[in-house]
């Protein structure tokens, strides 16, 4: 894996954004050559300020993507299992995910794959763990009774199938999860640990997230920053027509 450590949240976000940008440009996407970007499932759909609003305001409205190429799991679908299976099928039809970008929960979960999720799971309906419900309460005015208890999510196996995985981890409250994910063994209680067995994983974090790691680990990866920073050197924009 690559472990990229930046000083703070803003620098970590910027580094990750530049990396994704470069990956897309290097891929040379076109009319018949799609770069498939996977993103975490986020909030359950029936939130009034739903995940759709979140994705629109923070991502889709700023780019010129064809709406037909934006696929979001529909938590209000009549047959949820069919919805999940169809999603897996769409991923396959798109040629698989080129880059999956995700975060990590304080309990070490990737997407909504809560502790105890199978490490070869596929897209499905999951019941949320209390930690996740507590974390989501802030979107529902702090009222726990309003937070949905179930969500559709891509599986650990689904993400493992991606050609590359990027995990963003910032903040001291995620430090223990990061430690469990990369310095301990592969364990379904900390589902992010599954990516130790993925050929191309990159963890991007800030200083605070490394607080539970061994000094040796941190020193080693910080020493590689000159190599890591080459990955975000500006490439020519696609618009410049190369």
Partner 1 sequence: MRGEQGAAGARVLQFTNCRILRGGKLLREDLWVRGGRILDPEKLFFEERRVADERRDCGGRILAPGFIDVQINGGFGVDFSQATENVCSGVALVARRILSHGVTSFCPTLVTSPPEVYHKVVPQIPVKSGGPHGAGVLGLHLEGPFISREKRGAHPEAHLRSFEANAFQDLLATYGPLDNVRIVTLAPELGRSHEVIRELTARGICVSLGHSVADLRAAEDAVWSGATFITHLFNAMLPFHHRDPGIVGLLTSDRLPAGRCIFYGMIADGTHTNPAALRIAHRAHPQGLVLVTDAIPALGLGNGRHTLGQQEVEVDGLTAYVAGCSVESALEAASLHPAQLLGLEKSKGTLDFGADADFVVLDDSLHVQATYISGELVWQAEAARQ
Residues β-bridged to residue 206: 6
Q: Please answer whether residues 153 and 32 qualify as being in contact, where contact means their C-beta atoms are separated by less than 8 angstroms.
A: no
Q: Please answer whether residues 201 and 1 qualify as being in contact, where contact means their C-beta atoms are separated by less than 8 angstroms.
A: yes
- Regarding 220 and contact with partner 1 (CB under 8 A), the answer is no
CB closer to partner 1 out of 62 and 230:
62
How many CB atoms within 10 Å of residue 146? 12
Per-residue x/- mask for partner 1, residues 78 to 117, rule CB under 8 A?
A: ----------------------------------------
- Regarding 31 and contact with partner 1 (CB under 8 A), the answer is no
CB closer to partner 1 out of 55 and 218:
55
Residues whose CB falls within 8 Å of the CB of residue 187, separated by 6 or more in sequence, listed in order: 180, 193
H runs (alpha helix) in 146-214:
156-160, 175-182
CB closer to partner 1 out of 56 and 220:
56
Question: Which residues in 59-78 contact partner 1 (CB under 8 A)?
Answer: 60-61, 64, 66-68, 70, 72
Residues near partner 1, by CB under 8 A: 52-53, 56-57, 60-61, 64, 66-68, 70, 72
């Amino acid at each position: 894996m690559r472990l990229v450590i930046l000083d703070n949240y803003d620098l970590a976000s910027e580094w990750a954004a530049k990396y994704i940008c470069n990956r897309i440009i290097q891929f040379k996407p076109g009319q018949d050559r799609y770069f498939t970007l996977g993103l975490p499932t986020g909030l359950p759909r029936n939130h009034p300020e739903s995940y759709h609003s979140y994705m629109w305001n923070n991502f889709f409205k700023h780019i010129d993507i064809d709406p037909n190429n934006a696929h979001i799991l529909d938590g209000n679908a009549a047959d949820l299992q069919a919805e999940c299976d169809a999603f897996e099928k769409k991923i396959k039809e798109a040629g698989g995910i080129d880059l999956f970008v995700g975060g990590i929960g304080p309990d070490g979960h990737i997407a909504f794959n809560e502790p105890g999720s199978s490490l070869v799971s596929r897209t499905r309906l999951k019941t949320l763990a209390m930690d996740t419900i507590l974390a989501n309460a802030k979107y529902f005015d702090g009222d726990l009774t309003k937070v949905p208890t179930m969500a559709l999510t891509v599986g650990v196996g689904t993400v493992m199938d991606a050609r590359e995985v990027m995990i963003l981890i910032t903040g001291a409250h995620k430090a223990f999860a990061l430690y469990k994910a990369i310095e301990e063994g592969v364990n379904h209680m900390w589902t992010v640990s599954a990516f130790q067995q993925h050929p191309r994983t990159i963890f991007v974090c800030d200083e605070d997230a490394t607080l539970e790691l061994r000094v040796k680990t941190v020193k080693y990866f910080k020493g590689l920053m000159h190599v890591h920073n080459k990955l975000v050197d500006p490439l020519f924009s696609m618009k410049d027509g190369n």
